[in-house]
Homo-oligomer: A and B are copies of this chain.
Amino acid sequence: MFTLTVRDHIMIAHSLPDPFFGPAQRLHGATYEVETTWARPVLDEHGVVMDIGMASGLLGQVLDGLRHRNLDEHPDFAGRLSTTEVIAQHVGERLAAAAAGTEGLERLTVTLRENPDAWASYTLELPVLGGGSGRG
């Protein structure tokens, strides 16, 4: 199995208004370092999992919707808490949709690092499209 990971970051405000979250109930914010890892069992015709420029471009497009935003007022999180895990899922699902036409990809993991001591990830199996018959 091969993987390619690219990284970007966003800086957002949000609150987690449930007593479960203690001080994070208050409006605060985070720099999220976002790592996206694409996996495929065999390399494509250029000898890569995905072009790094394409991987960065896809990630950048998805993150553009979140950069410098208050997630409490963001329509994509209306009615639910924007926990780190939920944001990871949001980014993962949009990325998977954006790459839907790319053959051979098998899995995507999105990791969000919120501070030096805590991070979360979401892993998503991708629908198989051609390629991918052999396995590393």
Q: State whether A118 touches B85 (Cβ < 8 A).
A: no
How many chain A residues sit at the interface, stated as a range, is: 35 or more
Binding site for B on A (CB under 8 A): 1-9, 11-14, 18, 20-24, 26-33, 43, 46-49, 51-53, 55-56, 67-70, 80-81, 83-86, 88-89, 114-125, 136
**From residue A97, how far is it (CB to closest CB) to chain B in Å?**
15
Q: State whether A116 touches B23 (Cβ < 8 A).
A: no
Question: Inside 8 A of A114's CB, which chain B residues have their CB?
Answer: 11, 31
Contacts A21-B51, A51-B20 given; does A117 touch B1 at CB 8 Å: no
User: In whole angstroms, what is the CA distance A21 to B11 when docked?
Assistant: 14
A-B contact pairs, 12 of them (CB 8 A): A2-B122, A3-B120, A6-B117, A18-B46, A28-B29, A28-B69, A29-B31, A46-B83, A48-B83, A55-B118, A89-B136, A122-B136
